[in-house]
């Protein structure tokens, strides 16, 4: 018989905050998935991984094996614990988890569970930041996560050979070690972020109206989570490059792509400050800005052909520099999506 479970209860279970009675409900629900394997599509693969590990860990901790020889009264008492309904249900659930996991992962084209013991032996770690400052976490592959206050991450002690997956609740900055063979995948309550090696920030607090992903370096793919895809088949994937940000409205379920509020220079060796721009063509200055920030700046080269400017690039940010240039040559500009457009009638 098909059972249903509240999403909030499942999230509570993943955080390890359920009571024994609530945990038993999750166990029974998970066991029912064997009869209804399609229901597992509502789970993100990483959440499925965590549920499986948590169920198995609890079963292992609660099942006591009898000692060799003639058991004492205490040992016999422990052994009889296996006969209680909850222990039997938990043990059966663990078997169902392994069997269902193998079926699911093979059917969905995800990593095969050819060695269940090895798969489940990889323990899951949880890091919570309840302080008012940031907390740095280094993962097994060298990736560094700067965890912001009131945030947490769950991740395996050792990544698999085919990917690197974690769960994020809250906000964190990621400096991901490059690995072309193992994508780094971050799951939040609504979105899935996938990269190979880059640095970016994800803000995804529980219950927030908006979730944001902002890229500093590299390229990032952002899409709705598997649960959301199941609800809305025509899902959208957004590709972000340096100094770009996407905002996902959780209520209206749409993406909005734009430039970050404070673009950063992306070159390892910036060329912006190498030259004193003394009577330099504005077109050249704009080209240098594009190169250093990795942002598309549109303008009419013919209209700006006679525009000359004397300036030095000091401590101003990109937008301030654009304002200075436009004011000097009598031009205007607008920022739309991820592009800056300069409008000018030219210089005399």
Q: 18-22, 24-28, 334-338: which has the minimum mean pLDDT?
A: 24-28
Residues in Cβ contact with 60 at an 8 Å cutoff, skipping those fewer than 6 apart: none
> Using an 8 Å Cβ cutoff, are 112 and 102 in contact?
yes
Q: Are 243 and 293 in contact (CB under 8 A)?
A: yes
What's the distance, CA 262 to chain centroid? 22
Has residue 24 got a pLDDT over 50?
yes
CA pair distance 91, 99, nearest whole angstrom? 13
Non-local (6+) Cβ contacts of 40 within 8 A are: 33, 48, 100, 104
pLDDT score of 9? 72
Of 51-65, 104-118, 127-141, give the lowest mean pLDDT range: 104-118
**Mean of pLDDT values over 324-330:** 90
| 138-152 confidence digits (pLDDT tens) | 998 999 999 999 999
Read off the pLDDT band of 215 (50, 70, 90): very high
pLDDT higher than 70, residue 91: no
Higher per-residue confidence, 184 vs 180: 184
Range 99-109 average pLDDT: 40
Going from the C-alpha of 84 to that of each of 27, 54, 88, 89, 299, the distances in angstroms are 15, 20, 6, 9, 75
Alpha helices in the chain (DSSP H): 7-14, 20-32, 45-62, 73-79, 85-107, 116-121, 226-231, 282-293, 318-329
Per-residue pLDDT band at 85 (split at 50, 70, 90)? very low
pTM over 0.85: no
Residues 292 and 275: their CA atoms lie apart, in Å, by 13
In the numeric block, which tokens belong to residue 169?
């609740």
| Residue 344 confidence (pLDDT) above 70 | yes
Question: Is the predicted pLDDT of residue 115 greater than 60, yes or no?
Answer: no
Mean of pLDDT over the chain: 75
Looking at 80-94, 159-173, 295-309, which range is the least confident one? 80-94
pLDDT tens string 38-64: 444 445 444 555 555 555 555 545 444
**Which pLDDT band holds residue 248 (cuts at 50, 70, 90)?**
very high
Q: Evaluate whether 231 touches 213 at the Cβ level (below 8 Å).
A: no
Enumerate the β-bridge partners of residue 259: 244
Q: How far apart are CA 179 and CA 301, in angstroms?
A: 40
72 or 18, greater pLDDT: 18
Percent of residues, the chain, with pLDDT higher than 70 = 64
Burial 134-161 (b: 16+ CB within 10 A, else e): ebebebeeebebbbbeebbbbbbeebee
- What pLDDT, on a 0 to 100 scale, did the predictor assign at position 177? 92
3-state secondary structure of 151: strand
Residue that is written with structure tokens 């085919």 in the block: 162
Q: How far is CA 165 from CA 46, 50, 55, 212, 302, in A?
A: 7, 11, 19, 19, 50
| Strand-pair category, 124-129 with 151-156 | antiparallel
- Please tell me the predicted confidence (pLDDT) of residue 228: 47
Q: Which of 11-15, 235-239, 309-313, 334-338 has the lowest mean pLDDT?
A: 11-15
pLDDT at 240: 94
Euclidean distance between the first and final Cα of the chain, in Å?
Answer: 81
pLDDT value at 1 more than 70: no
Burial of 278 (0-12, 13-18, 19+ CB in 10 A): exposed
CA quadruple 162, 168, 174, 180: dihedral, nearest 10:
10
The Cα-based distances of 195 to 35, 48, 51, 59 in angstroms read 35, 21, 24, 35
**Ordered structural domains, the chain, with CATH:** 7-120 (no CATH), 123-259 (2.60.120.1440), 277-343 (3.55.50.30)
pLDDT of the residue at 28: 72
Residues in the chain: 348
């Amino acid at each position: 018989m098909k059972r249903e479970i509240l999403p909030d209860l499942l999230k509570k279970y993943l955080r390890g905050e359920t009571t024994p009675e609530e945990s038993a409900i999750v166990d029974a629900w998970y066991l029912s998935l064997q009869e209804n394997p399609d229901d597992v599509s509502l789970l993100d693969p990483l959440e499925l991984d965590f549920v499986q590990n948590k169920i198995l860990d609890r079963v292992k901790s609660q099942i006591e094996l009898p000692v060799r020889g003639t058991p004492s009264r205490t040992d016999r008492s422990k052994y009889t614990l296996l006969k209680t309904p909850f222990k039997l249900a938990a043990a059966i659930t663990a078997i169902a988890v392994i069997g269902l996991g193998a079926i699911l992962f093979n059917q969905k084209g995800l990593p095969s569970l050819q060695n269940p013991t090895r798969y489940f032996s990889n323990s899951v770690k949880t890091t919570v930041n309840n302080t008012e400052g940031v907390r740095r976490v280094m993962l097994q592959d060298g990736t560094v996560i700067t965890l912001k206050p009131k945030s947490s991450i769950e991740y395996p002690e050792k990544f698999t050979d085919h990917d690197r997956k974690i769960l994020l609740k809250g906000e964190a900055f990621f400096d991901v070690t490059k690995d072309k063979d193992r994508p780094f995948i971050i799951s939040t309550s609504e979105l899935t972020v996938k990269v190979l090696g880059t640095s970016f920030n994800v803000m995804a607090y529980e219950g927030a109206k908006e979730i944001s992903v902002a890229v500093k370096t590299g390229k990032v793919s952002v899409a709705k989570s598997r649960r959301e895809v199941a609800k809305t088949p025509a899902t959208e994937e957004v590709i972000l490059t340096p100094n770009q940000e996407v905002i996902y409205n959780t209520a209206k379920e749409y993406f909005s792509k734009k430039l970050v509020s404070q673009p950063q220079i992306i070159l390892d060796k910036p060329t912006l400050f190498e030259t004193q721009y003394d009577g330099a063509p504005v077109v050249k200055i704009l080209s240098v800005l594009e190169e250093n920030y990795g942002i598309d700046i549109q303008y009419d080269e013919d209209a700006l052909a006679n525009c000359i400017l004397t300036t030095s690039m000091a401590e101003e940010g990109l937008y301030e520099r654009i304002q200075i240039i436009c004011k000097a040559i009598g031009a205007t500009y607008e920022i739309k999506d991820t592009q800056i457009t300069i409008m000018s009638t030219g210089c005399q």
